[in-house]
Structure 1
Amino acid sequence: MDVSSVIKMNKVYITVAVLLAVAVIAVRSNTTPAEQCPGQNFEGLSDRIQVLPCESKRCKLRKNSNTTVILKFQTKTEVKELTNNVFANLGGLPLPFIGVSGMSACPHVKRADNGQPAPCPLAANVEYVYTNQFPIESFYPQVPLRVHWALNDGQKDVICFEVPAIITKR
């Protein structure tokens, strides 16, 4: 190899290293501060949850915008129906998010292995990805809160998390 070939290879290696570093920083900056729901323990929860947009300490939910929630989960038994249980906890008072809480989660579920829609019933021991978008309405008060998000099979939570958040102006 001549000197110019070595220099070109080094430039390629440096470019790849810089791109990987940027990707790692981007992924880490999108970390959602997901916490276990009271009395529950879902393994690897923080790696399974993403709220967009969200910062590492608190999610900023901007009025007149949409927030996206992505959950990876696996059921232990067949699930015939899956329902959203989503509310803002304001000083111990649960206020449901309009148009999301109580609605079927089934239309928002895909298989994690191939991205294909996975309408209910959901098979046991299969990895799924739930993606949903919900509006932050203009009339929501600008306050700090905790968002509680659970997918429930009618008897128990299949997955549940809470995040500290604040509703802000757009």
Structure 2
Amino acid sequence: MRLFDSEIKRCQAALVSTRLEEATQRKRKGKSNMDVRTGFVVLFCLIGLTCADPVKFKDCGSSSGKVSMVDITPCASQPCELHKGQSYSVNVTFNSGVVSQTSTAVVHGVIAGVPIPFPIPIEDGCKSGIQCPIQMKQQYHYLNSLPVKSEYPSIKLVVKWELKDDNKNDLFCINFPVQIVS
């Protein structure tokens, strides 16, 4: 979080400095290409703000693969705050330990130890950024969305996300905490 705060302060300082230079330049020789420079500073600040730390997760039994990174966008803090009525991008980078013709995603919200099915738009992993058939010892980037319905309660919970191979074994199984907010 300190990195995020320092990035904001640095961007603010750069923007103020650029605006002062722009005003000085306009006084000297009229409007110049300072607007372009200001645009680049703002663009780089926005890029810096979107670069967040990977999500902290726990492996929950990936028997057919190994997860190297989980990223949820947007997620500025952990646990990720999921706003009702919005959809979030979930990107899981993993290495496969098996060959599989298919892959199927299964998602649950775990509340007080009880798994509750959490519907996602695309259950077929082969339509979620993975080129099937899945090969052994290959790295894959699974990408799906996590829609948060307006009728969900405001609550802290753990999301359990599994991607299963042909034999119903987990290519990956991850748990990560979230908080649903209004």
TM-score by length of 1: 0.69
Q: 1:125 is aligned with what amino acid?
A: K
| Residue number among 132, 136, 148 corresponding to 1:136 in the alignment | 148
Taking a change above 3 Å as real, the CA distance of residues 40 and 123 of structure 1, as seen in their structure-2 partners, is closer
Distance 2:146 2:181 in 1: 15
Distance in structure 1 (CA, Å) of the matches to 2:133 and 2:97: 13
Q: Which residue of 2 aligns with 1:155?
A: 168
Stretches (4+) displaced over 3 A: 22-27, 39-43
> In the alignment, is residue 66 of structure 1 matched against residue 87 of structure 2?
yes
Shift of 1:56: 4.1
Q: Is the 8 A contact 2:93 2:141 kept in 1?
A: yes
1:106 match: secondary structure? helix
Which structure 1 residue ranges, 5 or more long, are not aligned? 1-19, 111-117
- In the other structure, the counterpart of 2:133 is 121
Pair 1:83-2:104 in alignment: yes
The alignment's C-alpha RMSD in Å is 2.8
1:1-80 equivalences under 5 Å are 27=51, 29-37=52-60, 45=67, 47-80=68-101
Displacement of 1:36 after TM fit? 2.0
Structure with the largest fraction of helix = 2
Relative to 1, partners in 2 of residues 1:62 and 1:26: Cα closer, same or farther, differing over 3 Å? closer
Tell me the CA shift for residue 157 of structure 1.
Answer: 0.8
In structure 2, how many angstroms separate the alpha carbons of the residues matched to 1:147 and 1:127? 23
Structure 2: runs of 5+ lacking an equivalent? 1-43
Q: Between 49-58 and 89-98, report the one with greater CA deviation.
A: 49-58
Give the fraction of aligned pairs with identical amino acids, expressed as a percent.
26
Report the CA distance between 1:145 and its aligned residue.
0.3
Q: How many residues align?
A: 138
